[in-house]
A and B are shown apart, each in its own frame.
Chain A
């Protein structure tokens, strides 16, 4: 039983409030932080500007509901879809707004999947499409979240993707921290802090009191992600971009690159807080989606152009590729060696590892293997969570599991 069914809510003004509420819910479902307080403000704002002018209406809502510049795009899409819906608009106009004119509906850019999903749920009078898969899910005994953990990114539905993205955002790689040259106060620290001691003494009127102590601050080392987006990786690349986005926005000093036939730095695009906008920006910046792979030349240009700029201060490198190389691994070993020597740790994530019978036989894989410290799968949430586990331990530079792979590659 919703508020709309009570007699009091059938007044025209409440009708608008109700629609605003649905709109706010749509925005919230699309990921904007719109709470009840915001909704009340929005209602006030709309009342204040009146409904005579669509632009005023838009900007009033915008002023209230958008709190960061990068939310603006989602708001814009949601606004145009939601307030264009003939049902809502017809009802609104019939009741109270003969002056509002509908906008031309042509040339609407393809709206993001998120907004579409959110609106389908939130818009009144629009039936959500039948969910046939629910019955299917009921036949499994494991919980949905558990299944999702081990599910291949390749086979996920949109809803599962959304859930997976939420989980990805929580993974957040707790990388083992490196000691810096800065200090923080610590009562049991190994060093005396003269400044703090002196201030403490003055507070006590010049008497010698306990010594204040300090210890070195730690911080996560820089993280560099090199991700293959060639044809053979297509099924994973979107999800991996979400992973990279989650990691990038979780901390500072993360640099992300993608490569196919050439290398592109996508760090700036991924810094965008909204993941869909960020991924869109990346897809526009990258010219070689789903093409061939030249791992050797990509690593070469990384080593020459970027390594000195982003690998300082003991960086950890995540190399995400299936190792299938168009150049058959030519020149790859030298570049991988150089890369390995200039970072703290080189971790190779390979989605092919999900296959039981995977054998490191391709020339690209054999060229890379001797130069990486760790070799792991990257096809599901579980495997990425495992990665977090590995990185949070300092451990030996070369992981013990590597020996098996090297032997197989040699054999």
Chain B
């Protein structure tokens, strides 16, 4: 439920870090810094990184901790203004025309003025984001921007710099207060410099081992500490290998949860082989890791863990 009184925006990097932690998001300080700057200077934040490192999650956490509405625009190829910004409710408009004809009590000018009024305007995420909200400006998540085509990207330029939308029949809608905008990209395509220039940019990297253990402790608390340490160690060494697609944080969480479901207290080679599909998504990669390679990595992880606990 959104709070009746919105939480204030964080006043420092530390406060931003606390805010994220409050939403059970374990963040690096670099990310908190860019986020703080974006919030403070009211600029969109452009997040790029491999799939599954928690880019989308940031927007969700922000919306939850700040008590703001979350508006999500999932991008896809061919996304156009009708699906992203607004559309007229054609069926209702036609019905209105028919009704006016049937009753015959309205003149043409009044009808056409009424046809393009608020009543018939279907608002999509981008337009909704410009509207005032009691809880403060909403969080606008433009997800996987790299999936759209260039025309839409160019369209975004106006919205992201001026926070306004022009509707020919209706007029220009301008946000009294700009929304908090988070853009994400998996880099399946380069985003144009013109768009990047209007945003703060942050590359979301894989977390360090310590950070990833914290994430596991927060997000998968059922997992035994020793199991979690082994899982993180295993995943981290996989990321160092020459794989087609290295596992992201989301995969680590999936794997830990799968192991908990299987009542594992410790990693074993056979269990790894059976559950590798939660971690690796390419058959080539699975074939490479399965069997002796997995056993070797596991042995290495265990010795390292033993060394650190003994110290």
A contact residues vs B (CB 8 Å cutoff):
180-182, 194-195, 197-198, 201-202, 205-206, 252, 303-304, 308-310, 312-313, 334, 338
B225 on the A face (CB < 8 A):
no
A residues in contact with B150, CB < 8 Å: 252
A residues in contact with B91, CB < 8 Å: 194
Report whether A309 and B78 are in contact in the complex, using a CB–CB cutoff of 8 Å.
no
Q: Which range contains the number of B residues in contact with the other chain?
A: 20 to 34
B170 on the A face (CB < 8 A):
no
**In the bound complex, what is the Cα–Cα distance between A202 and B88 (angstroms)?**
14
Report whether B188 and A308 are in contact in the complex, using a CB–CB cutoff of 8 Å.
yes
- A–B Cβ pairs within 8 angstroms, 26 of them: A180-B77, A180-B78, A180-B149, A181-B77, A181-B79, A182-B78, A194-B90, A195-B82, A195-B90, A197-B90, A198-B94, A198-B115, A202-B112, A202-B115, A205-B108, A206-B97, A206-B101, A206-B108, A308-B186, A309-B188, A309-B189, A309-B190, A312-B188, A334-B284, A338-B244, A338-B284
A residues in contact with B82, CB < 8 Å: 195
Among B82, B93, B147, B189: residue with most chain A CB under 10 A: B189
Name the distance in Å between B189's Cβ and chain A's nearest Cβ: 6
How many residue pairs, one in A and one in B, have C-beta atoms under 8 Å apart? 50
Overall SS of chain A's interface: helix
Report whether A181 and B100 are in contact in the complex, using a CB–CB cutoff of 8 Å.
no
Task: Choose one: A181, A310, A312; the contact of B78 (CB below 8 Å).
Answer: A181
**In the bound complex, what is the Cα–Cα distance between A310 and B189 (angstroms)?**
6
Report whether A304 and B244 are in contact in the complex, using a CB–CB cutoff of 8 Å.
yes
**In the bound complex, what is the Cα–Cα distance between A194 and B88 (angstroms)?**
9
Residue of A nearest to B116 (CB): A202
B residues in contact with A206, CB < 8 Å: 97, 100-101, 108, 111
B contact residues vs A (CB 8 Å cutoff):
76-80, 82, 88, 90-91, 93-94, 97, 100-101, 108, 111-112, 115, 147, 149-151, 186-190, 244, 284
Task: Choose one: A201, A303, A310; the contact of B244 (CB below 8 Å).
Answer: A303
A residues in contact with B93, CB < 8 Å: 198
Name the distance in Å between A195's Cβ and chain B's nearest Cβ: 7
Residue of B nearest to A202 (CB): B112
**In the bound complex, what is the Cα–Cα distance between A206 and B90 (angstroms)?**
13
A residues in contact with B80, CB < 8 Å: 182
Name the distance in Å between B117's Cβ and chain A's nearest Cβ: 14
**In the bound complex, what is the Cα–Cα distance between A309 and B51 (angstroms)?**
13
Name the distance in Å between B167's Cβ and chain A's nearest Cβ: 12
A residues in contact with B186, CB < 8 Å: 308
**In the bound complex, what is the Cα–Cα distance between A36 and B278 (angstroms)?**
69
**In the bound complex, what is the Cα–Cα distance between A303 and B242 (angstroms)?**
12
Name the distance in Å between A403's Cβ and chain B's nearest Cβ: 28
Report whether B88 and A195 are in contact in the complex, using a CB–CB cutoff of 8 Å.
yes
B residues in contact with A310, CB < 8 Å: 189
**In the bound complex, what is the Cα–Cα distance between A371 and B56 (angstroms)?**
37
Given contacts A181-B77, A309-B189, A309-B190, contact A201 B94 (CB under 8 A): yes
